[in-house]
Amino acid sequence: MRKKIKKAVIPAAGLGTRFLPATKAIPKEMLPIVDIPTIQYIVQEAVDSGIEEILVITNSNKHCMENHFDRSYELEKRLKKAGKREECEQICEIADMAKLYYVRQKEPKGLGHAILCAKSFIGNEPFAVLLGDDVVINKGGDPALKQLMDTYEQVNASVIGVHTVPHEQIYRYGVIEPTGRRSGKKIKLSNLVEKPKVKDAPSDMAIVGRYILTPEIFEALEGSRPGANGEIQLTDAIQQLMISQVIYACEFQGEWYDVGDKFGYIRATINQALEREELYEPLRDYIKKLAAELK
C-alpha cells in the first residue's frame, strides 16, 4: 500500500569548500539570499509541499541553524520595547515554521552517509530529501518537492528531481538515462551516471537536490563502499536500488539555483532581490547602468 510522505531530510553537514573562506565559521546553508538564510527557503518549500516533520543533518559547526529556527526571547523583548512589531512577528514566525529535529553527522563522509544518519528518524516510510544548498523557486506554481510528491503518488516508487542543463555543463552533475518513456514531467529511468564526459552523457538532465526515496535506500547505503573522494555517494545507492525497484525522475518546473556554487548564489541573490518591491527599481537601474558600462 502506498504511504503518504510526511517526513523530510535536509542534509546540511557538508564542508562548503567551494565557498571558503565564508564557510570557515558560517555554514553555507546560513548564507542569506537577500535577507533570508538559504535553509529557510528550503524549509519553507518542504512545509509548502505538506511535509510535517523535518530532520536537518548538521555538524558541530552548525548550531546557528538550530538557533535560527528557535525562539529568541531576548531579541523579541528588545524588538517589542523598540516598537518594532513587524520584525518581532517575523522572527517568531520562523520559530513556528515546522517541527524541526537535528542530528549530527560526526564526519563529512558524503551525502549518502548524511542520509544514513536519518535512518531511525525515518523508520519504514518513504521520505523526501531536499539538499541544503539547492534552492528552487517556482513563482505562482507548486513547489518543486510537491511536484515530486505528486509524481510519487502516481508511480509509488522513488522519484529523483531533475533539471535540464546546458549540454556543455553536463559533466558537472549526476545524469539520468531515461528509458525513452516519458509522460509529462514523469520519466522512467534505466540508469544514472555520475559526472559523465560531455560526449558520453546519456541525457542533458541533471540530478538536482530533490528526492523521494523508499526506505530500502538505507540498506543500499549501508552496503555502499566509499566512492569518489572517499565519500558514500547517494547516486551509488540509488543505482543499487534500481536492481530491485523501478525508479522515476520528475523534471520539475521552477528556477533552480545551486547556491553552494558562487555564481549560483549570486544569481539567486539578484533574482530574489528583483522580486522585492523596495529593491526592484534601484536594482534594475543599477543593473542597466552596469550593463551599459560592461564590455
List residues near ligand UTP by CB under 6 A. 11-19, 57, 105, 108-111, 113-114, 131-133, 260
Please say which residue, 17 or 191, places its beta carbon nearer to ligand UTP: 17
Q: Are 208 and 254 in contact (CB under 8 A)?
A: no
Enter the C-alpha cell of residue 79: 524588538
CB of 173 to ligand UTP, least distance (A): 11
The closest alpha carbon to 136, from 240, 216, 252, 222, belongs to 252
CB of 254 to ligand UTP, least distance (A): 18
Please say which residue, 17 or 67, places its beta carbon nearer to ligand UTP: 17
Please say which residue, 79 or 221, places its beta carbon nearer to ligand UTP: 221
Please say which residue, 11 or 254, places its beta carbon nearer to ligand UTP: 11
Counting Cβ atoms within 10 Å, is residue 176 exposed (0-12), middle (13-18) or buried (19+)?
buried
Please report, for residues 21, 96, 201, the alpha-carbon distance to residue 129 in angstroms, rounded to integers and kept in the order given.
Answer: 27, 21, 25
Three-state SS at 132: coil
Please say which residue, 118 or 249, places its beta carbon nearer to ligand UTP: 118
CB of 65 to ligand UTP, least distance (A): 11
Closest-CB residue for ligand UTP?
14
Please report, for residues 39, 108, 173, 208, 270, the alpha-carbon distance to residue 10 in angstroms, rounded to integers and kept in the order given.
Answer: 9, 14, 19, 14, 25
CB of 279 to ligand UTP, least distance (A): 27
**Residue with grid cell 558524503, as numbered in its chain:** 110
Please say which residue, 9 or 249, places its beta carbon nearer to ligand UTP: 9
CB of 289 to ligand UTP, least distance (A): 33
198-202: Cβ within 8 A, 24+ apart: 198/167, 198/168, 198/170, 198/171, 201/167, 201/170, 201/171, 201/175, 202/175, 202/176, 202/177, 202/178
CB of 32 to ligand UTP, least distance (A): 16
Give the length of the chain.
295
